[in-house]
Amino acid sequence: MTQWQIISEHIGQATGRPFNPLEPRHVGGGCINTGVRLTDGERTYFVKLNTASLLEMFEAEADGLRELADTRTIRVPEPLGCGLGDGQSYLVMEYIDMGQGGRGGSELAGRQLAEMHRRSQSRFGWFRDNTIGSTPQQNQTSDDWVDFWRERRLGFQLRLAERKGYGGTLQRRGERLMEHLQLLIDHQPEPSLLHGDLWGGNLAYANDGDPVIFDPAVYYGDREADLAMTELFGGFGNRFYDAYRESWPLAPGYSTRKILYNLYHILNHLNLFGGGYLGQASSMIDRLLAEV
């Protein structure tokens, strides 16, 4: 069977209706996966493709979408499942036609995100590891958020950066920063359900105006980590943030903690895309060390 025959059979089994697609159409799938729009003229699905070795990445993404959807707060694409076909891994999910958010879209997104963050569990982390971009993301659970952030987030990215040749000053300053995390994370967050990779490219609006988030890197952590990333590459606008804070105000000190939380993503970009992010990572570490 060809790849598309296998995927079509998967869709048919998942939905209980035979699916005979027209010609697949490639669409934007980001810089990591190939994205394909698959339709039979009546039903349409979005398919992500990658190498066979990355099936587990898709399985974790599907689990993350289900975890987010289970909150019944902000909309996510429904996953139909994953598999292997013709030497590639695939993830099939609901195709959502996107439009504009309208005047109230960003406020609704802020309120719905705050409500999603109210989903909690007893420990930080998640029941499985996943990926942030294409980088492994460790989610072994912990009772202590500072330890989790030190070991599973900053420490992991710094060790990876050292293996990639970014040692020296970055490592020395990074290790010093990790010794003082308790001074920077000076509040008591509860383990909130996080999208985990919530930059502007992972929020859109369906044709009916509903906010939609996708491409998650799910775990339970400080909700400020999600909110911080929304500000990393341009921000979501004042209406979004006002609506979020009205729904669930932030503790004092967020303006410093957001630098700490976004450092994780800048270190990940350093590890994924190279030395163009080294100066930014170093500058963020220096700003944080100046606070302690």
129 is catalytic: no
**C-alpha 250: how far from its chain's center?**
21
Catalytic, out of 129, 143, 186, 197: 197
Please tell me the distance from the alpha carbon of residue 102 to that of residue 99, in angstroms, as a whole number: 9
3-state secondary structure at position 106: helix
Instruction: Provide the pairing of β-strand 44-51 with 34-39.
Output: antiparallel
172 Rama sector, left if φ>0, alpha if ψ -120 to 50, beta otherwise = alpha
Please tell me the distance from the alpha carbon of residue 174 to that of residue 267, in angstroms, as a whole number: 11
How many residues are there in the chain?
A: 292
Whose CA is closest to 121, among 194, 198, 205?
A: 194
Q: Where are the alpha helices (DSSP H) in 118-194?
A: 145-148, 155-163, 169-179, 181-184
59-68 burial, b at 16+ Cβ within 10 Å, e below that, comes to bbbbbbbebb
Tell me which residues are annotated as active site. Answer: 197
